[in-house]
Amino acid sequence: MLNNKTIMIIGATGSFGQKFTKLILKKFNPKKVICYSRDEAKQFEMANDPFFKKYKKIIRFFIGDVRDHRRLLFAMQESEIVIHAAALKQVSIGEYNPFEVIKTNIFGAQNIIECALSLGVKKVIALSTDKAAAPINLYGATKLCSDKLFTSANFYSGKKDIKLSVVRYGNVMASRGSVIPHFIKNKKKNIFTVTDKRMTRFNLTLDEGANFVLQSLKIMQGGEIFVPKIPSYRIMDLVKSISDKPKIKYIGIRPGEKLHEELITRSDSMTTFEFKNFFIILPHQIFFSKKLKKFLKNYNLSNKLCKK
């Protein structure tokens, strides 16, 4: 699927970006991989990693921000597939820096879409989050807007041969800024800071996330939000898995946090189809139109494979 293709990964130096870049280099023979991010230190580290050094002839590193339309346009030249994994993601920081989060997560998404449409990109997948489902914080609200931009962009692509879709999943296990590294640090003093003992979170590994994006890239028709079937854990079970007799310090829920996240809302369920290992949420423009039959036919759907 990706052999001899030029692939651009936006946010390539993040946890997911590096994992996905490794995955496609191991599984395929791409023509070129464009790694786009704004962190020069991480780009330097990634470029000098022994694994990536082996592919230096086909990897290109571009420093740039999704806010910079002109830079994106230049970096995206010749790209056929774009994976968008860049965002401002910290919930509490986003609550106090709303203008910056909007510039990156919404205007940045618009810039990527406009560049992809003008340059002849064939497929675009944007990574989203469970916080975009019925959001109560700014980060989730901006990602919901981003999701809407990417799914709706299919309807004004005209005759251009382009498909744009979204992948939505929960917390990535042990990723930067996640709770597991925080608890591992807590283990040294055996005092665990917990927001609320009732809290639960959806969870998957980096490998699972990267492979799910690859699977979605293969079957996407354009306009879907792909949601994997993943487990959730209770925060206290996670603490007890790290320490047998933990001392707990409850600090209370932070601004913008939920006790329980959602991946599919009750309203989303009206236009959601279930597969063996994942769901797809369709936009209303497809579900309540003549396009639905054709869309489902392309998935070769049967009553055994999915249900509404």
245's enclosing H/E stretch is none
d(CA 131, CA 140): 4
Are 68 and 110 a contacting pair, CB within 8 Å? no
Are 209 and 125 a contacting pair, CB within 8 Å? no
Residue type at 31? K
d(CA 23, CA 69): 28
Assigned token pair, 52: 């990536």
d(CA 125, CA 192): 37
d(CA 93, CA 98): 9
d(CA 186, CA 217): 38
Q: What CA–CA distances, in Å, run from 248 to 190, 200, 252?
A: 8, 16, 12
Are 296 and 272 a contacting pair, CB within 8 Å? no
d(CA 73, CA 52): 25
Query: Would you please indicate which residues are annotated as catalytic (active-site) residues?
Result: 131
Assigned token pair, 294: 């054709």
Please state the separation of Cα 227 from the chain's center in Å: 10
Are 234 and 243 a contacting pair, CB within 8 Å? no
